[in-house]
A and B are shown apart, each in its own frame.
Chain A
Amino acid sequence: AQTVTQSQPEMSVQEAETVTLSCTYDTSESDYYLFWYKQPPSRQMILVIRQEAYKQQNATENRFSVNFQKAAKSFSLKISDSQLGDAAMYFCAYQDNAGNMLTFGGGTRLMVKP
């Protein structure tokens, strides 16, 4: 079974600075998808960014980008120019090629200091 590990239970960043959240995963598959979800205090799960394993190019979405290292099975999220609204729980998730389920990491709580 696939496992997803987020080794940083909590992180903090100063407003306007950059922070990187770590995620590692374990799989024997070669084709899969990886996602970062944001969960603010409202509890809503919001899709932030996705990465297809067959793509070498790292995904970017505005201030959010990933560093995908397939051989190392690492998928980190970089948030640039951090804003107060970025404060939330962030979950890394793995999806196999069949697309039937997501396997989530335990989450990282990000605090943004003004």
Chain B
Amino acid sequence: DAGITQSPRHKVTETGTPVTLRCHQTENHRYMYWYRQDPGHGLRLIHYSYGVKDTDKGEVSDGYSVSRSKTEDFLLTLESATSSQTSVYFCAISDLGTFSYEQYFGPGTRLTVT
């Protein structure tokens, strides 16, 4: 299994509070991603990073920011959490394999915004 951890694994927070989720990898992969999973939508990309301090927006980036100051860590921040951000959040990593940039996923963080 790829060495990817996410913290916290579960979090309940109130509307309007800031929340930071952490993804940590031990694989030295260049690319890191944050997805959210909601019923009926599969996983949707929030932000991704292609190197230290290099990030870009994904499909559903509104209300989220990210930072990557080290290769191994990718942080996702909800500046002011809303109920619509209740979801399961997955981090993924990738690098050029034999044929493609296969992505490997962390265990997920369940976030509930009340």
Interface residues, chain A, with chain B CB atoms under 8 Å away: 4, 33, 35, 37, 42-45, 47, 50, 52, 91, 93, 95, 99-102, 104-107
Contacts and interface: CB of A to CB of B under 8 A. Distances in A.
Chain A residues touching B, majority SS: strand
Contacts of A102: 33, 35, 43, 45, 92, 103
Given A45-B92, A106-B40, 18 more contacts: A43-B107, A43-B108, A44-B107, A44-B108, A45-B43, A50-B99, A52-B100, A93-B43, A95-B100, A99-B31, A99-B96, A100-B31, A100-B50, A100-B101, A101-B45, A102-B92, A102-B103, A104-B41
Contact of A91 (B43, B45, B94): B43
B42 A106 contact: yes
Interface of B: 31, 33, 35, 40-45, 48, 50, 56, 58-59, 88, 90, 92, 94, 96, 99-105, 107-108
Contact of B105 (A4, A45, A95, A107): A45
Contacts of A104: 41-44
Contacts of B92: 45, 102
Chain B residues touching A, majority SS: strand
A34 B107 CA distance: 22
Contacts of A45: 43, 90, 92, 105, 108
A37 B102 CA distance: 11
A52 B99 contact: yes
B48 A101 contact: yes
Determine which residue in B31, B43, B48, B88 has the highest number of CB atoms from chain A within 10 A of its CB, and name it.
B43
Contacts of B43: 45, 91, 93, 102, 104
